[in-house]
Amino acid sequence: MSVADDSDEALMAAVAARRQQAFRELMTRHMPRAIRLAQRIVRDPAEADDIGQEAFLRVWNKASSFDPAIARFTTWLYRIVLNLAFDRTRKPRHAPIEDAAEVASADPPPVETLIAAQQRRLLEAALAELPERQRGAIALFHMEGLSGEDAARAMNLSPKAFESLLGRARQTLKKEVEKRQHDRRRA
């Protein structure tokens, strides 16, 4: 029997019954998103991969506690990933040795690539300064494309509270980007 056409919620019922094939299908469908969301919070691909793995371990272990009447599977998964990512950002971090000395290429990149890379770094640096919950709101809504309602559920907030959090996040991000642009111009 193929599980590829089953809904996430039907797969979760099968996972609760300890069907590994259903679990593998959920991982295939949602692991890349889980890792991407985690990476937007922790800003470290290796940490994000660990968070994705741990999130799915929790999905397996807590499958019987999932209630499709309360939330969709993706909302439940996002909540797990966010909580794990927030926990990781609170721990002290050590820079890997690989980051110590990167040698830049002797060939200069095209101007467009350079400008885009500078803007991306500016935005990433500004995002890194946001409080973790604001960073989570921006990641879910703007980067993952969740609706306000789904993002609110994933963060365990009311839609109004999420809207307020997202508004503060946007405002803080805008100020941080403007500050960094101003600082860059002065340098």
Report the distance separating Cα 123 and Cα 43, nearest Å: 12
Report the distance separating Cα 62 and Cα 64, nearest Å: 5
The reported pLDDT for the residue numbered 104 is 57
User: pLDDT tens-digit profile of 16-53?
Assistant: 999 999 999 999 999 999 999 999 999 899 999 999 99
DSSP string, 10-29: HHHHHHHTT-HHHHHHHHHH
Query: Which residues lie closer than 8 Å to 73 by C-beta, 6 or more apart?
Result: 8, 9, 11, 12, 26, 30, 66
Domains and CATH numbers, the chain: 1-91 (1.10.1740.10), 110-187 (1.10.10.10)
User: pLDDT tens-digit profile of 104-147?
Assistant: 555 555 677 766 777 788 888 888 888 999 999 998 998 888 89
The mean pLDDT value for 64-73 works out to: 92
The reported pLDDT for the residue numbered 134 is 92
CB 63 within 8 A of CB 16: yes
The mean pLDDT value for 69-78 works out to: 93
Ordered alpha helix ranges (H), the chain? 8-16, 20-42, 45-61, 73-90, 111-129, 132-138, 148-154, 159-186
